[in-house]
């Protein structure tokens, strides 16, 4: 086996592009899953609903279930990712991968057709009346942490394979 890399122009570029696109798609899929997990995490904010006070005890017995219409909803507390009420925001998260002028770009967010992008911005950064409920920045931080752990593990594995132990 040779350690030599063979360049073959356009065919090589296409292969690299396919590999980059596959990697970006995998990262974007993981990011979307992290966002949706953050939305589903237990919340600690105000409880809404006609029988909210009684149902508040249910959160200790497995959490609150699907809400609206007429059900109970527990909001997120400031600093937590938004709570799911109708799931419209959670379901609208999508991504697009494109190569423009030899540079790859990934856009992840609520689909523009859903009209949820504005709401996501208000929740993420807050308004004069609502404290931030960040999900996107938390998801990015979690994804970066996962990547750092994976890179460290791979580096450790490579060192042990080479026998250097460094």
What are the tens digits of pLDDT across the range 58-89?
Answer: 555 455 444 455 667 788 999 999 998 888 88
Give dist(CA 59, CA 37) in Å, integer: 18
Cβ distance 67 to 73 under 8 Å?
Answer: yes
Residue in the block written with tokens 């009346």? 129
| Residue 46 to residues 40, 52, 75, Cα–Cα distance (Å) | 16, 9, 5
Q: How confident is the model at residue 9 (pLDDT cuts 50, 70, 90)?
A: confident
End-to-end CA distance of the chain: 25
Q: What pLDDT does 162 receive?
A: 66
pLDDT tens-digit map of 116-159: 888 899 999 999 999 999 999 999 999 999 988 888 887 787 77
> pTM above the 0.75 mark?
no
Give dist(CA 102, CA 28) in Å, integer: 19
């Amino acid at each position: 086996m040779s350690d030599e890399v063979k360049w073959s122009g356009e065919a090589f570029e296409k292969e690299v592009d396919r590999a980059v696109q596959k990697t970006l798609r995998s990262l974007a899929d993981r990011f979307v899953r992290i966002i949706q997990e953050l939305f589903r995490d237990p919340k600690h904010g105000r409880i809404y609903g006609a029988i909210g006070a009684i149902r508040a005890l249910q959160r200790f017995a497995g959490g609150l279930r699907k809400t609206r219409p007429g059900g109970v909803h527990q909001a997120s507390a400031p600093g937590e990712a938004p709570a799911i009420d109708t799931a419209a925001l959670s379901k609208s998260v999508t991504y697009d991968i494109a190569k423009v002028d030899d540079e790859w770009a990934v856009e992840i967010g609520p689909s523009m057709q859903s009209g949820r992008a504005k709401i996501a911005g208000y929740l993420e950064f807050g308004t004069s009346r609502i404290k931030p409920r960040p999900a996107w920045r938390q998801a990015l931080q979690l994804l970066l942490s996962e990547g750092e752990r994976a890179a460290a593990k791979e580096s450790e594995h490579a060192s042990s394979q080479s026998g250097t132990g460094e």
